[in-house]
Structure 1
Amino acid sequence: MWSISGDRIKTILRNTCVCALIILSISKTQANQSYEDIYQAQSGWHLGMAAGYGKVDNPVYQGRDIPLVLIPKLEFYWGDFAINNSQLIYTPWQNHSTTFSFLTRINEDGLYFIDDLLAASAGAAFLQRPFMSDGDPNQQKGITPPLLRRGDMERIDDRKISVLAGMEVNHDWQDWRVSAAWYQEISNYHHGDEAFLSIAKAWHGQSHLWLTSLELQYQSEDLLQYYYGTRLTDWIAGFSRFQPDSALNTSIKISYRFNINPQWDFIAEARAQHLDSSLNDSPLLEQQHLYSFFAGFAWSY
Structure 2
Amino acid sequence: MKSIVNILTALCISVWLTVPCFAQPSEIEPVQDITTGQWHLSLNTGLGVITNPLAGGGDLPLVLIPDIAYYGEQFFFDNGRLGYSLIQDSPHTFNLVTEFNSETRFFVDWHPSNIFAFRSESSFTNSENELQIQQPSLDISELDKRKWALDAGLSYHYNYQQHVFSVQALADVSGVYDGWRSALQWQMHKNIGELQIKPTIGIWYKSAALNAYFYGVTEKESPVRAIEVGSSWQPYAKIDARWPLNGANSLRFHLAYYDYSALADDSPLFEQTYSLTAFIGFDHIF
- Letter of the structure 2 residue corresponding to residue 117 of structure 1: H
How many Å apart are 1:40 and its aligned residue? 5.1
CA distance in 2, matches of 1:50, 1:114: 22
How many Å apart are 1:103 and its aligned residue? 0.8
Q: 1:65 to 1:298 in 2, by over 3 A?
A: same
Q: 1:162 to 1:118 in 2, by over 3 A?
A: farther
For 1:194-205, what aligned pairs fall within 5 Å after superposition?
Answer: 194-205=181-192
For 1:120-159, what aligned pairs fall within 5 Å after superposition?
Answer: 147-151=134-138, 153-159=140-146
CA distance in 2, matches of 1:173, 1:179: 11
Q: 1:240 to 1:289 in 2, by over 3 A?
A: farther
- Asked whether 1:245 is paired with 2:239, we answer no
Moved more, 188-197 or 107-116: 107-116
- What residue number does 1:140 align with? none
Secondary structure (helix, strand or coil) at the match of 2:189 reads strand
Q: CA RMSD in A?
A: 2.2
Structure 2 counterpart of 1:215, from 197, 202, 205? 202
Secondary structure (helix, strand or coil) at the match of 2:220 reads helix
Structure 1 counterpart of 2:157, from 170, 173, 180? 170
CA distance in 1, matches of 2:263, 2:283: 38
Structure 2 counterpart of 1:265, from 234, 245, 250? 250
Q: 1:168 to 1:119 in 2, by over 3 A?
A: farther
Percent identical residues:
24
Moved more, 223-232 or 108-117: 108-117
Moved more, 56-65 or 205-214: 205-214
CA distance in 1, matches of 2:138, 2:199: 40
CA distance in 2, matches of 1:95, 1:261: 33
- Letter of the structure 2 residue corresponding to residue 245 of structure 1: G
- What residue number does 1:79 align with? 73
Aligned partners of 1:181 and 1:196 also within 8 Å = yes
How many Å apart are 1:115 and its aligned residue? 2.7
Q: 1:223 to 1:59 in 2, by over 3 A?
A: same
- Letter of the structure 1 residue corresponding to residue 235 of structure 2: T
Query: Moved runs in structure 1, 4+ residues, more than 6 A?
Result: none
Larger Rg: 2
Higher RCO (CA 8 Å, separation ≥ 6 residues): 1
Q: 1:196 to 1:274 in 2, by over 3 A?
A: same
Q: 1:267 to 1:287 in 2, by over 3 A?
A: same
- Letter of the structure 2 residue corresponding to residue 217 of structure 1: W
Secondary structure (helix, strand or coil) at the match of 2:269 reads coil
How many Å apart are 1:47 and its aligned residue? 0.8
Secondary structure (helix, strand or coil) at the match of 1:232 reads coil
How many Å apart are 1:80 and its aligned residue? 0.6
Aligned partners of 1:80 and 1:92 also within 8 Å = yes
Aligned partners of 1:271 and 1:293 also within 8 Å = yes
Q: TM-score when scaled to structure 1? A: 0.74
- Asked whether 1:116 is paired with 2:110, we answer yes
For 1:1-150, what aligned pairs fall within 5 Å after superposition?
Answer: 39=32, 41-43=34-36, 44-117=38-111, 147-150=134-137
Aligned partners of 1:244 and 1:279 also within 8 Å = no
Report the number of matched residues: 238
- What residue number does 2:275 align with? 290
CA distance in 1, matches of 2:284, 2:78: 16
- Asked whether 1:193 is paired with 2:180, we answer yes
Q: TM-score when scaled to structure 2? A: 0.78
Aligned partners of 1:57 and 1:291 also within 8 Å = yes
Moved more, 278-287 or 111-120: 111-120
CA distance in 2, matches of 1:57, 1:151: 18
CA distance in 1, matches of 2:113, 2:241: 27
Aligned partners of 2:251 and 2:283 also within 8 Å = yes
CA distance in 1, matches of 2:58, 2:233: 24
Aligned partners of 1:149 and 1:240 also within 8 Å = no
How many Å apart are 1:265 and its aligned residue? 1.3
